[in-house]
Amino acid sequence: MTTLGLKPQQTSCCMRRAARRDENEKEIVEALRAVGATVYHLDEPCDLLVGYRQQTILMEVKSPKTQYGKKGFNENQKHFAENWKGGPFCLVDSVEAALRMLKIMIN
């Protein structure tokens, strides 16, 4: 079965562990939804699929409080960004950054 036209990931004999979420992701998702955006959680290639005013954007959430978050996109995400032929793919580290991306999208 597919969801939103996406094929389920291949599974092996073991259950896939849930992806760790950045500590600021919940706050960012709540803020996006509060302004009317539709938000879906993804694991790969990024954290969030966001729809707003007939536009779509992919967001990678990073926490500026962690060493990993300060590094920006990981190698898989860099590769994805270089080859992505769809809408915007951005990195956000705060509610303000996420809302700013929505404003940029619609202008």
Distance CA 68, CA 62 (A): 8
Helices (H) then strands (E): counts for the chain: 4, 4
68 assigned to some structural domain: yes
**Residue 77: which domain range?**
25-106
1 assigned to some structural domain: no
19 assigned to some structural domain: no
9 assigned to some structural domain: no
11 assigned to some structural domain: no
Fill in the DSSP letter of residue 6. B
Q: How many domains does the chain have?
A: 1
18 assigned to some structural domain: no
> What type of residue is 102?
L
Rounded to a whole number of angstroms, the CA Rg of the chain reads: 14
Distance CA 59, CA 98 (A): 8
Output the domain CATH number for residue 43: 3.40.1350.10
Q: Using an 8 Å Cβ cutoff, are 57 and 87 in contact?
A: yes
pLDDT in tens, 19-64: 678 889 999 999 999 999 999 999 889 999 999 999 999 999 999 8
Q: For the chain, what is the mean pLDDT? A: 84
14 assigned to some structural domain: no
Residues in the chain: 107
Q: What 3-state DSSP class applies to 89?
A: strand
57 assigned to some structural domain: yes
pTM, entire model: 0.78
